[in-house]
Structure 1
Amino acid sequence: MSGKRALIAAGGTGGHMFPAQALAELLLAEGWQVTLSTDERGARYAGTFPPEVVRQVVPSATTARGGIAGKLAAPFRIAAGVLAARRAFVRQRPDVVIGFGGYPTIPALAAARLMGLPRMIHEQNGVMGRVNRLFAPRVHRVACGTWPTDLPAGVSGTHTGNPVRAAVLAQAGAPYAVPGDGPLRLLVIGGSQGARVLSRVVPAAIALLPDDLRTRLLVSHQARPEDADSVTAAYAAAGIEADVQPFFTDVPERIAAAHLVVSRSGASSLADITVIGRPSILIPFAAATGDHQTANAQALAETGAAHVHPESVLDATSLARDIRAILTDPARAAAMAAAALDLARPDAARRLYDLVEEIAR
């Protein structure tokens, strides 16, 4: 048992929280004590963290949203968060602070800098987020999930890959059953934001597929609650058996069972898809900061692991064409699955852990 303490700070989206959870799981296994620092929104995403992880909710805010009043109040909330984090660190000093991005990481990283604590960040995407870009020159290590990553001038990074949770590792490299004459499983996952276009276009694309293909489809579709009824109705009109939910708690198992995944290209989603090894059609979120989802998808597109559809030209006809091309060509589907697996970094959490150990010394 190491007896060391790690403070993990992460923003309130799955893209930040899933790799943070993966590192937390490994730290606990290595005998560390782990605290998760986040804001009230992030705390709602922390339910799948191991119960041994202490939750610490600190005030934070973003200057990018919330209107004039929100923008004016944000610096004061952030300052309050920094003071709260500093008081917590005085009571129980962490050996290392690791930030995973998002505005809720500002208090912990700022307090760690003020106190001279060992600190590092992990950037999941090919283009750094605002907060990580701010702190990159002010930490001891910068770990990168996607390579290459656009880093600030004078900052060097270490390519660790994006850590995946234990539930994903349990499915790592699961044998791929190529599409044949039986049922065909399609998984549609949209991430925590921007999934509305998938709810509109994917059912329309599937309705255009030939009868012999369409009637064999079993679809799992993650849709916003406000879109669930219309998506369910669209599939029913096309004669499709579909499981439509706002959130799947068993995404790794569904990826492993899928013949094809249609997804946004968030970093955590791509890490899951590559570690398990499945063909995919990726639709980068057009409004993502710095167009980072397109950067995330680049390696999969270049190696033939995925077809990438820019949202600006996405339509039902082209999407139906690609779905049909993959599901009717077992050799192509198998090659895409193998190419995805070649890009996987199932040891990303271990690589990140080694950096944590290094700076904690």
Structure 2
Amino acid sequence: MAERSLEVAIAAGGTAGHINPALALAEELRDRGHHVRFFGQTSKLEGRLVPEAGFELVPVVVSGFDRSRPWTLATSLYRMRRAQSQIARLFSAEGAPDVAVGFGAYVEMALLNCCHRLGVPYLLHEQNSVPGLANKALAPHAARVCISVPAARDVFEREGRGAREVVLTGNPVRRSVVAASREEGRAALGVEDGETMLLVFGGSLGAAHINEGVCRLKDELLSREGLVVVHSTGADGFDETVTALALTPDEQLRWRVMPYITNMGQALAASDLVLSRAGASSIAEIAAVGAPSVLVPYPHATADHQTTNARFLVDAGAAVLVADSAIDTPEFTGALLGLLDDPARREAMREAARGLGQSRAAAALADQVEAVALS
């Protein structure tokens, strides 16, 4: 427990990959007796997720600069300055926070630039192996830069952050994921104790090729006695996947197709093997529950950062990496079916994933927040 209750401002927005780690930190800080307030855009995803989690969201209106449309720069700068002025007036009226944390989205710049001008220390958290533009721009004045995977360290140190200021905390995962149990997950999904469960999901981008590859293996997968496939197709790929699989009523009992999974923590905890993309949040959640995985990085991610993300688990012996270009080759088939047929190897991968300590990332990041605020 910290020496006193802190007032913490958090900026996170745009995508679940930014927002969910921020909410995981906020939950940890709230449990430690601190007050947390978010800054973000009500029209974006944070406008729903933050209030649902029980936290206040201060509206901030900003817009990014599109290099292909130079005329957007003026609007972007105007909105940024206006947002900074609004935040400064709020702090003047209600008091500035003790510390602020940004999670990499463009919206963080209004809050953190304002904090810098007022002398309020701030931290950055980077979820990906390849840092985003906002975090790189704000790094020179950050009291601490916290990273999810070791590969991000070199980038920030090239930006002028000293080795002591870049701290590996891991990527915070929400309590609903960390606390999920295999028994509860299997009960929710209707999977029996003795069955082997393959969980398939593609994330918010690029699920189509994974869906196609798994559909191609339908007969080989269903030929394995006791195998159950839980397949989240993504909203855009649901109808196409259902048509491609053409499951009979009996097959539908063993192959559950859905557009999305509402409780990913339970699904991961219930699984014996995961097939997914390698987004930062997916990597963090897979590691936190200790699920063995076959990772197929999205090939069009910026600077191929999903491949670097995947290396975090692969190098630890917790995952197998297959390139997207190999989905239609024997390499993909052998990797997936080989692990389904090898429970001993899957168990070794599970222990390797747990050994990464990802389930403690929220606490590690909260420790850094307290250290900066109370130093």
Residues 65 and 169 of structure 1: is their aligned pair in 2 closer, same or farther, counting only changes over 3 Å?
A: farther
| Aligned counterpart, 1:165 | 174
Equivalent AA in structure 2 for residue 302 of structure 1: D
1:358 alignment partner in structure 2: 371
- Give the number of equivalent residue pairs: 357
1:197 shift after superposition: 2.5
Aligned residue in 2 for 1:146:
149
- Structure 2 residue 345 is the aligned partner of structure 1 residue 341: no
2:8 to 3, 6, 14: 6
2:289–2:359 CA contact under 8 A, matched in 1: no
Contact 2:20/2:173 (<8 A) preserved: yes
| CA separation of 1:48 and 1:333: change in aligned 2, threshold 3 A | farther
1:319 aligned to 2:357? no
Task: Please provide the CA RMSD for this pair.
Answer: 2.8
* Kept in 1: contact 2:201–2:234 (CA 8 A): no
- Write the letter of the residue equivalent to 1:230: E
* Contact 1:202/1:316 (<8 A) preserved: no
Residue 207 of structure 1: aligned partner: 218
Change (3 A) 1:176 1:277: farther
Alignment of 1:284-323 (within 5 A): 284-315=297-328, 317-323=330-336
Report deviation, 1:75.
2.7
Task: Name the CA distance, whole Å, in 1 between partners of 2:226 and 2:71.
Answer: 53
| 1:107-118 → structure 2 map (5 Å cutoff) | 107-118=110-121
Alpha-carbon distance between aligned partners in 1 of 2:232 and 2:135, rounded to the nearest angstrom = 29
Distance 1:212 1:19, change over 3 A: same
- The aligned counterpart of 2:40 is 38
2-side partners of 1:222 and 1:172: how far apart?
Answer: 20
- Aligned equivalents of 1:87, 1:195: Cα separation in 2: 44
Amino acid at match of 1:163: P
Could you tell me which amino acid in structure 1 is paired with residue 369 of structure 2?
V
1:218 aligned partner: 228
Once the two structures are superposed, the pairs formed by residues 115-194 of structure 1 within 5 Å of their partners are: 115-149=118-152, 150-152=154-156, 153=158, 154-155=160-161, 156=163, 157-171=166-180, 182-194=194-206
- TM value normalised by structure 2: 0.86
Whichever residue aligns with residue 4 of structure 1, its letter is L
Q: Which of 46, 55, 58 is equivalent to 2:57?
A: 55
CA contact (8 A) 2:207 2:237 kept: no
CA distance in 1, matches of 2:199, 2:65: 35
Name which of structure 1's ranges 92-101 and 183-192 shifts more when overlaid on structure 2.
183-192
2:149·2:312 contact (CA, 8 Å) conserved in 1? Answer: no
Aligned equivalents of 1:295 and 1:232: distance in 2? 32
For residues 84 and 291 of structure 1, do their structure 2 counterparts lie closer, same or farther at Cα, with a shift above 3 Å needed? farther
What are the within-5 Å matches in structure 2 for residues 21-100 of structure 1?
21-39=23-41, 40-47=43-50, 50-51=53-54, 53-64=55-66, 67=69, 70=72, 73-92=75-94, 93-100=96-103
Hey, what's the Cα distance between the residues in 2 that align with 1:66 and 1:243? 43
Q: Give unmatched runs, 5+ long, in structure 1.
A: none
- What TM-score do the two structures reach when normalised by structure 1? 0.89
In 2: Cα distance, 1:175 partner to 1:302 partner: 30
Structure 2 distance, partners of 1:106, 1:75, is 11
The letter for the 2-side match of 1:185 is M
- Cα deviation digits, residues 317-349 of structure 1 (max 9, x gap): 432222210111111111111111112332211
SS of the aligned residue for 2:304 comes to helix
Q: Which runs of 5+ in 2 are unaligned?
A: 187-191
Q: CA deviation at 1:227?
A: 1.5
